[in-house]
Every structure is written in structure tokens, then in C-alpha cells.
Amino acid sequence: MSAKIRVTVWNEFRHEKKHAEVKAVYPDGIHNCIAEGLSSAPDISCRTATQDEPEHGLTEKVLAETDVLTWWGHLAHDEVSDEIVKRVQKRVLAGMGLICLHSAHFSKILRTMLGTNCSLKWREAGEKERLWNIEPGHPITAGIGEYFELPHTEMYGERFDIPTPDKVVFISWFEGGEVFRSGCCWERGHGRIFYFRPGHETFPIFRDENIRKVILNACRWAAPRVNMADNCPNVKPLEPIRSKA
Amino acid sequence: MSAKIRVTVWNEFRHEKKHAEVKAVYPDGIHNCIAEGLSSAPDISCRTATQDEPEHGLTEKVLAETDVLTWWGHLAHDEVSDEIVKRVQKRVLAGMGLICLHSAHFSKILRTMLGTNCSLKWREAGEKERLWNIEPGHPITAGIGEYFELPHTEMYGERFDIPTPDKVVFISWFEGGEVFRSGCCWERGHGRIFYFRPGHETFPIFRDENIRKVILNACRWAAPRVNMADNCPNVKPLEPIRSKA
Amino acid sequence: MSAKIRVTVWNEFRHEKKHAEVKAVYPDGIHNCIAEGLSSAPDISCRTATQDEPEHGLTEKVLAETDVLTWWGHLAHDEVSDEIVKRVQKRVLAGMGLICLHSAHFSKILRTMLGTNCSLKWREAGEKERLWNIEPGHPITAGIGEYFELPHTEMYGERFDIPTPDKVVFISWFEGGEVFRSGCCWERGHGRIFYFRPGHETFPIFRDENIRKVILNACRWAAPRVNMADNCPNVKPLEPIRSKA
Amino acid sequence: MSAKIRVTVWNEFRHEKKHAEVKAVYPDGIHNCIAEGLSSAPDISCRTATQDEPEHGLTEKVLAETDVLTWWGHLAHDEVSDEIVKRVQKRVLAGMGLICLHSAHFSKILRTMLGTNCSLKWREAGEKERLWNIEPGHPITAGIGEYFELPHTEMYGERFDIPTPDKVVFISWFEGGEVFRSGCCWERGHGRIFYFRPGHETFPIFRDENIRKVILNACRWAAPRVNMADNCPNVKPLEPIRSKA
């Protein structure tokens, strides 16, 4: 734990190279847009990593220097190596924060951390979403009012196949008639995990001021409290064993 | 869901072949001892499966006919195939119950379902254990009094690296000075999971009447309520979308 | 615990005497309508009680013979005696089920059991509500599909001031733009509590087939597993105390 | 929320006046001993209040200036006025932290906040207690190792009648054979609640360095994030209501 919270913003970074409409919205990639949103905070230092870098940009050294990892992926979840997923999982269990954004509900790392398939309903109709803040006292919702709106968004609807969250901080209302647990908190090992629903590749969600505020808040909330690896130790008794067979 | 709860008792079945002292305690294997304990219940039908059978005895057909799977493993967790683990996980998420016993805390299937490393402290000193029933209204503790004792047992101590359980039903006191959350309940997908601590290979734990009662209760508690696979459907709106970009 | 689940349907029963429009919808009172909905189930036996009866109809004898108590109140929460509330609380802690309906979010008994003020947003505009079933494997949602709708209803919106439920089984979507955790489960002492949002006095909600199914399911889910009063006992040691000062 | 966390240390303060042996251990009262333990922390400002002061020392003004309230009582729980209890509850729901110590498990305020009777087993035999830290990443256990011991203590044993805590941070092992969930966290409304088991009136528990560290950590953890009173507002729709009856 350094003076600043060291965030690594990870992005699949495929859409932006392939699809003109995505490139138009995120010319420098979704990762640089998210990093830009975090960069003005005095307590955050930010780097980025992308899937097509060696080791997906997540070497042992990078992870050792990461307090909070944010994750966006969509097209190529299956191409993320199992070995790197295990490496990230180990770091989360030792204390690193993990923030999974939008289509990262189907990422290997989130499914590995949660143990469920993270299935949901979805629709791309450019509809309105209203995110209700149901935990106004939670650090992740600091500075967010009773709700905020996204004018055009992809819909994700329940049932979302996740373990019951420790805390649900946002529930979404969609114009087309669905609801969704859009901000979900868990703890696994010594690390904290936040799933945040918004973030489609062709809507400028990651430029939205409320979205940026929530991601910044989440990085602060998920910053490590300890760095501690479990090792299943064999231990000596603390009291005399008298009843031995 | 059939009239009877169809339990498959799974066992690694290596110790019993290799180690004379284990064979002396469980001559027919731990699986047959557990199955024997369940066999007198009129609402249970029981089969067994072991690691060295083809597909570890867990073919698609066997799993499709299984309501609750109990799991004991110790020496050879790593030799369980990832493909079979995924197959079992899929069945649990669709509704099958899973009961992991003792050293199965380190099984691939439990770690996959929970997302944590399931580390704990341990000691083999043949000491006394007292399991306190902290949820006397829970179906898993039916017929168990305020506590029960095991005269000689392996010790497992906290910290146990698990997601906070939905319900802890037993907390153990050990003669040597440790405590442990010995009966833990979770739900994942549509399935229920129970971890139950006791069960060492050289103590006759699975012949103990209280242990047998708890395992039977757990099979009833974990019996499927539904059989439902999630498939992440694309859906049509239920209300008109007026705000489309 | 008898062969049948003994349900006592409690109603404030003031609106129906005072307001012609309520009397038109529920000529025999809300309680008799709810009881009618339960009466066809072979495993339920039903009685009613109302606020203006002696002891609000909830004598020690009635409560001793009650497995599950359903509660509807609105105008006169403050006139319910604190002594009767404590009596009901004691029974819930000993194992009785409690089902609070709609405006009973503000009842003394629910606020006493939960410890929060149970505040929410509300609006009477006769709008459409869609209840999403987010726990299709839960006994309370048995026989309910992915969602069901109420064509005209009072709106309750988040933030709902409740302790994080053990399980949220329904989340509502409202035409006017809000969301709500409409089906919430808790355990307190040895008893189970379910809060179910729908149920306004001038909409015929309690005649709706889905609503009736949910209330019946909830009665089955909340039926006592034990009847056990805690008494803070002074106890003798189970092991010798050697370190005494 | 001020620059410093404003803690009010509340004490029944009856034992210390009546019983010579208690006076010998806590000559200035338990409250002043606890306050002394907090006073060296640069981020804490501390005041005390006792039961026999007017309004139990908890006027509206005192509570408005309190971020975290710690509570110790034993002999005279019933003499605490219901009105003051409601006043404290209202402040907790609005965001104030509440820390209940030892015999305050039976205080009106804790039972009001939790809704259960908080029954437990108990014994005064001066036995050894070992508190296992099962959440080493939690702020309340910062600086505490894997466990700490109290050489002579009153025993509290399970079953403890409480709602399942959001987080259990300590589990106690007792020489006499019992276990106990000794550090329990909940959130109610916008406030945080911590129950901490140790603290008998004739053992010098509140002079113990580990105990003092935990209470200080708990004050920091329970410091308000917001100050927000719920008021059950009637609200206008955010979307047009078209389906009106």
C-alpha cells in the first residue's frame, strides 16, 4: 500500500481497432478514457494494460504494483489465459481490489472469483436507464444523489446469476421494462470486488461524470487493507492435548 | 426431482487402497461408509462414484440423475479433471446440491464454486472437538442438541478462507485452542452448497451417529428446488422504447 | 407444529368500515379476502384477527396456536399496543413466521423486528408494476414465472430503509420510473419474516392469482422449524478450568 | 462529520459506586478508563455520559455532536428510558456509529437496533479466553495478530441470539469448552453497529492493550459516512403514467 492508490486499467482493446463506430467514441481505447477519468484525483496513480500485450500486460511485477485492477472485456473473454486469471485471482485473495465493468460480467476473472455463470438478459435498443442509489451512506455512492440517468444504453436485466452480494448499491430501471442490480459489492479472501453495470462500447458511458465518480469511488473503496497470502499452515497446539487416543 | 432424493456419494478412494490403517477403519472405502449411513432413510436413494472410475464416475448421465453430490478427497485433488469439475459446477448452478466433507475444503470443485483458496490451519494430534450448534432452527441441525463431541479428530482452525457463508450452523471448539466454522451454507446459481468439517480418514468419524444425522439432514436441505440452466438470453422490450437515440 | 400450517390473518380493518371505495373492493375486509386465497390449500388452516378485537385478537392462546401470522395495517399503526407487539415479537423469535404486507412496512411489529424505520418513497397514481422474480429457485417464488404484472398499483420506491435482506426474491419496476425490493426475507431468532410489497386497499391486489400464490408460498416457507424460547442460561464448564485467578 | 471523530463513552456507572471490588479495578468508572484508552489517538475527541445524569447524559445536543457512541451497562438496563433509546436509535439510523460492549448485549439500545433478544450462555469462572481474528483485512482488527488472549474473563457462549452479522471479525475460544462470536458488525439505516464481547466489571479488560486497540479501530470504522434522516416522501413520477385506470 503506497501513498497513492495504484490503479491498473485493463482493457480488451479489440473493438476500438476493428469497429469504426467504437473507434469514433473511444479513439484512444476504453482504457485511456477510464484512466483519464481517474487522472485528476490526487490520490490515484494510473497505468493501463491490454489483452494483446505480453502476458495481457499483467506480469507478476505489474500485479505486485497494482492496488486496484479495473477490467473491461467483451469479444475475447475466452482468449484470456487461464494462468493469468489464476495470477489475478491470487492477488485479489491477497488483498488487491477488482472492479469489473459492464460486459466484464462474462469475463473469466469475475466468473472465477464468484463461482457462478453471471448470466443475465440483454438488449441493445439505446434505451434510457435510471440507476437508483439504494445505499447513500456507502463510499461508492459518495456524491451521487438519489439516482442518475443514462439517456441511451444497452439493457442488462435480471435474473443476474451472481452470489447474493454483500451489498447492492445501485438498482437500475430500464425504459423497456427490466430491472438490474447494477452495483454489487463482494469480499473474497482479503480483497474487495465491485461489479458496475454501465459501460457499452458505442455509448460514451465512460465520459459521463456520474460514471467516472462511481469508478473513482470504487477504486478508493477497493484499495487493499492488507497484503496477505494464505498458506494452509500446519500448527502446534496452544493448549495441552490431554485426550489423545 | 424424483420422489426420492438421489444422492451420489463421491470418494477419492486412494487412502483406503494404500494405507493399512485407513483400510482398517474404512475397509469398503469412505464412500460405502457414508452411503451406509444414508441408506436407512426412506427418502434417499444412494449410489457411489470414485475418482479412478472413467470420468471419475461422474458421466453426464450420472450427474443428470443426481440430486445431491457428496464429495470426499484428500491426496489427489489435482488429478481431478478440470472438465469434470466444470460439469459438476454447471449442475450445481442448475440446482444440484453439493456437500463437501473435511479435506474436500481443498477440492477443485469447492474452490471453483466459492472462488477462494479455502486455506485453514491444521494439526493431526487426535484431540477432542466440540461442535456447537448455533442455528438450532436450521434443517441441517435437526435432531442435534446444543452441541456434540468427537473424542479424537484432526484439527482445522481459523482463519478459513471462504466467502462469508449465508449461514454458519456449527462452530467447533478444539482442545488445542482453536475454533472453526465447521458447518457452512451457501447458495450458488440455483444450487445449495454445504461444507462440513469433520471426517478424517483414520478416525471413524463417518460411523458417528451425529455426523451421519448431519449428512442426512444436509442431503435433504440441499435437494434441488429447480433444474434450470441460465443462457444469457437476448430479449425484446416489454415497454415501448421512446427515447432511442 | 401441527399437521396443517395454522395461519392467522391479521387486519387493521378500519378502511373497510370507513371508506365506501375500500368497502366496494373488500366488502368482508382485507383479512377475509386473504384468508379466502389461502383456504383452498390442503395444508393450511386459517383464522383471522383484527385490531379492534380485545387484545387486537392476538391473545396468548391465539399466538400459541399460530404458526404463521400475516399482517396488514395502514391508518392506525400507532394504536397497536406495545405490549401486544412485544408478545408477537417473542413468538417470532421462538419460531413463528411473520408476513408483512404492503403498508405494514410501517407497522410497529415489522419495525420492531428489523430495528430500522422502514421509510420509502410512495405515490398513488394507479400505475403499472412489474415484479421480477430474481430467485426462481426460492420456495416463495414457486410457480411464478420470470415476472408478473399488476396493472394498477400504488408505487413504493427506493431507498427502502431495511437491514440488507438475507434474500431479495422480487424487484419491482414501476411505470413512473422507480424500482423497489418488493419481496424480502429475513430470519430473526428462530423465526422467519417476509415482507411483500403489493396490496393497496383500493386496488383488488389480494384477489390477484399471482399475489395469492406468493402469500401461500410464503406461509409454507415461514412455517416454524422449532418452537424454542431463549433464556440466557448460566452454565457449568464442560472442561476443567485450570487458569483461574 | 468533524475533523476529529467525536466519541461519547456511555456507562451505566452503578457497579463502581456500589461494589468495592469494581471500584478497585475502575476507580474513576469504566467510562473514564475507556475514554483514557481512546485519548491518545490524534483523530479522536472524547466525552463521557452516564445513566444517572439528566436524560442519561444523552440530550439532543450531545447526540447531535456525537459521531460514535460506545455503550456499557449491566445492572440497570430496564431503567434506561424508552424515549432516550428511541432518540439514540434515530441517530444511529441517520448515520451515528454504535459500539456495544460486553453486558450491553442485553441493553435496550442493542436489542432495539437488532430486533432479537440477544440471549447467550454465561459463566463467571475467571477462565482463559482466546479471541481468533477471522478477518485480518477488516479495519476493526488492524494491528491485531492471528489471535489475542485474556487470562481471566467471564464466559459468554453460543447460541447468541442475534441476526446473522454482516461480518464476524472475532470468534472466542473458552477454556471451559464454549465458543462465541465475539466481534460482530451490522449496518442499520445509515449507521454502523459493532458488538464486542470482552469487558467484565471486575477484570481489568478495558486496560488491556489489544482491547483498547479494537475499540479505537471500531470507533474509526463506525464513524459516520452521512448524516441523513429518512422521511418517507410522497413523490412525483419521473416518467409519464399512461396506464392509469
Residue B212: name the closest of B7, B1, B2 by CA.
Answer: B7
pLDDT of residue A1: 44
Residue A6 has pLDDT above 80, yes or no: yes
The confidence score (pLDDT) of residue B1 equals 44
Among residues B126, B156, B132, which one has the least CA distance to residue B144? B132
CB atoms within 10 A of CB D121: 21
Closest residue, chain A, to B120 (C-alpha): A232
- Quick one: pLDDT band at residue D203, thresholds 50, 70, 90? confident
Residues 6+ positions from B199 with CB-CB distance below 8 Å: B30, B72, B101, B102, B103, B205, B206, B211
C159 at interface of A, judged by CB pairs closer than 8 A: yes
Residue C68 and residue C95: Cα distance in Å, rounded? 9
Percent of chain B with pLDDT over 70: 98
The minimum CA-CA distance between D74 and chain C, rounded to whole Å, is: 14
- Which residues in chain B show pLDDT less than 50? 1
- C-beta atoms of B106 and A232 within 8 A: yes
Subunits adjacent to chain D (3 or more Cβ pairs under 8 Å) = A, B, C
| pLDDT score at D119 | 97
Q: Output the pLDDT for position D150.
A: 97
pLDDT reading at A38 higher than 60: yes
Look at D160 and B133 and tell me if their CB atoms are within 8 Å.
no
Whether D188 and D113 have beta carbons less than 8 Å apart is answered as yes
DSSP D141: G
Tell me if chain A has a CB within 8 Å of the CB of B157. Answer: yes
3-state DSSP call for residue A129? strand
DSSP helix, strand, coil percent of chain C (3-state; round to 5): 30, 30, 40
Strands D68-72 and D97-101: parallel
Residue D245: predicted pLDDT: 57
**Residues C104-109: what's their mean pLDDT?**
98
Q: Which residues in chain C have Cβ-Cβ distances shorter than 8 Å to B139?
A: 225
Q: What is the mean pLDDT of residues A22-43?
A: 96
Domains along chain D with CATH numbers? 5-115+183-222 (3.40.50.880)
Chain A residues in contact with C132 (beta carbon < 8 A): 157-159, 178-179
Q: How confident is the model at residue C243 (pLDDT cuts 50, 70, 90)?
A: confident
> Least CA distance to D173: which residue of chain C?
C239
Whose cell is 488483498? That residue is A95
Nearest beta carbon to residue C136 from set A146, A159, A167: A159
Label residues D132-145 b or e (16+ Cβ within 10 Å = b). bbbbbbbebbbebe
Average confidence (pLDDT) over A176-184:
98
pLDDT in tens, C122-164: 999 999 999 999 999 999 999 999 999 999 999 999 999 999 9
User: Do the Cβ atoms of B243 and A89 come within 8 Å?
Assistant: no
What is the DSSP pairing of strand A68-72 with strand A97-101? parallel
d(CA D190, CA D230): 10
Q: Chain B residues with CB inside 8 Å of A104's CB? A: none
Contacts of A230 in chain B (CB under 8 A): 117, 119, 159, 161
pLDDT tier for residue C245 given thresholds of 50, 70 and 90: low
DSSP string, D4-66: SEEEEEEE---HHHH-HHHHHH-TT-HHHHHHHHHHT-TTEEEEEEETTSGGGG--HHHHHT-
Written as one letter, the residue type at B125 is A
- The Cα–Cα gap between C102 and A209 comes to 37
- Return residues 118-147 of C near A (CB < 8 Å): 130, 132-136, 146
Instruction: Output the pLDDT for position D241.
Output: 94
Residue A134 has a pLDDT of 98
Is B245 buried (19+), middle (13-18) or exposed (0-12) by CB count in 10 A? exposed
C-alpha separations of B4 from B9, B43, B61, C225 in Å: 15, 5, 17, 22
Work out the minimum CA distance from A33 to partner chain B, whole angstroms.
Answer: 22
Residues of chain B with C-beta less than 8 angstroms from the C-beta of C172? none
Query: Are the beta carbons of D137 and A238 separated by less than 8 Å?
Result: no
pLDDT of amino acid D162: 98
* Each residue's pLDDT tens digit, C22-57: 999 999 999 999 999 999 999 999 999 999 999 999
Torsion over CA: A138, A161, A107, A115 (sign): positive
Tell me, letter by letter, the H, E, C secondary structure of chain B. Answer: CCCCEEEEEEECCCHHHHCHHHHHHCCCCHHHHHHHHHHCCCCEEEEEEECCCHHHHCCHHHHHCCCEEEEECCCCHHHCCHHHHHHHHHHHHHCCEEEEEHHHHHCHHHHHHHCCCCCCEEEEEEEEEEEEECCCCCHHHCCCCCEEEEEEEEEEECCCCCCCCCEEEEEEEECCCCEEEEEEEEEECCEEEEEECCCCCCCCHHHCHHHHHHHHHHHHHHCCCCCCCCCCCECCCCCCCCCCC
**A100 phi and psi angles, rounded to 5 deg:** -105, 130
The 3-state DSSP class for residue C67 equals coil
Length of chain B: 245
- Considering all CA atoms of chain A, what is the largest pairwise distance in Å, rounded to the nearest integer? 74
Report CA C204 to chain centroid distance, whole Å.
18
Mean pLDDT value across residues D132-150: 98
What is the band of A245 on the pLDDT scale with cuts at 50, 70, 90? Answer: low
| Residue A243 confidence (pLDDT) above 90 | no
Average pLDDT, integer, range A179-197: 98
Instruction: List, for residues C223-241, the tens digit of each pLDDT value.
Output: 999 999 988 999 999 999 9
